Amino acid sequence: MRMGAELLAPAGDMESLEAALRFGADAVYVGGELLQLRAKSAGFDKSAIALASERVHREKKRLYVAVNSLANCDEIPLVGEYAKALYDMGVDAAIVSDLGVISEIRRAAPELEIHLSTQASCMNYAAAAVYHDMGVKRIVLARETTVGDIAKIRAMTPKTLELEAFVHGAMCMAVSGRCIISSYLTGRSGNRGECAQPCRWSYALTEEKRPGEYFPVEEDGGCTTILSSHDLCCVDMLDELEKAGVTSFKIEGRMKTAYYVASVVNAYRMALSGGDLEYCRRELEGVKHRPYSDGFYHGYVKNNHINDGRYRHECVFVGNVIENRDGFLKVRQRNNFKVGDVLEILSPGRAAESFEVTEIMTESGDRRSAAPHPNEILYIPCGVRAESGDFLRRRENG
């Protein structure tokens, strides 16, 4: 059964935005020039937002812009003109956490839809109703909200208020990004989009009189990344979340690659369309991730893995399909592959098909036994269906 909830994907650049649209997202969220909670490399300037807006709306989908970091006094005067510009560019909503920023947007661009960021930590119906009265159209629920509380929020707030919840991706070890470890250790604030992620570092103890002698700080299994959280994966509980009242399923990852976005969006789109959940789960093992859990939706972190802090993945992204002509794929190489490798084609909405690399040719017609040069244009014969915009990957395990 196809569900009616929105599938919302991240994009840190136009390549990721194109992947999100092609692989089944209903809406895309990006960062802009002001108050976005990601590094500047994952932000869109105004011209890029305008281009993204035109591209998304051509597909009759929606574009949201994150304006969700806490604002300082010097930034408040900039909010009004920025909000007007976003609205004029056709942006469908701004994702906001700061009360002052909400007020400024409502004053300067009252027709621009506002979604309350998860950074605001809204996790009860009373707070949700207050935000709705302020003009907020959608609540992006706090990561700590349980399924039971989502149902209560839905039952006790106006039906005009939409509820959005994260279903996949990295999770902060603190309450919705309010950790100050990064600020203290590196001067980079998590609440300003500059987190150095020190919670994922490995730690050891030193004794005052034994400098340079390190004693590991370990969890069960010998892990020293004691602060590192699991990654979220809720592909098995989409129906449960929708029944509780969630109208938008959000994927984290504006710092991720286009291959990551395509893989995760594809798996969730297939799940929402009634696809085989076992296959969808396997697809999500194909991208880099820390051990998965379903977060706090059941009141505690439910997982079956010791979190050693290490990323794992079953597949390696090796290239983009540019064109398929006369049985040959024109490919932009992104990671090493060689003759004899078995590659898979990642395409929207269908199971991956595999083929063996029997030949590699350059644009000048030279034959190679391997492809070691990033971004080189190559040609390889392929007997399975593939289209422009597909991704090539090599399975590492099984």
Q: Which domains does the chain have, with CATH numbers?
A: 6-171+229-293 (3.20.20.70), 315-395 (2.40.30.10)
- Distance CA(361)–CA(375), nearest Å, equals 14
- Alpha-carbon distances of 13 from 43, 60, 77, 160, 199, rounded to whole Å: 7, 20, 27, 32, 26
Give helix 46-58 / helix 14-22 axis angle, nearest 10°: 10
Query: What is the reported pTM?
Result: 0.90
Look at residue 203 in the predicted model and tell me its pLDDT: 74
Tokens of 345: 């084609």
Task: Give me the pLDDT at residue 311, please.
Answer: 74
Partners of 72 in the β-ladder: none
Residue 211, pLDDT score: 84
- Give the mean pLDDT per block of 10 residues along the chain (398 residues): 80 97 98 79 87 98 95 96 98 97 98 96 97 98 95 98 96 72 78 71 79 72 62 95 98 94 98 96 93 87 58 91 96 97 96 96 95 96 96 86
Residue 265, H or E segment: helix 258-272
Q: How far apart are CA 192 and CA 293, in angstroms?
A: 27
- How remote is the C-alpha of 212 from its chain's centroid? 39
Angle at 180 between CA 224 and CA 311, to 5 degrees: 35
CB-based contact 219:306 (threshold 8 Å): yes
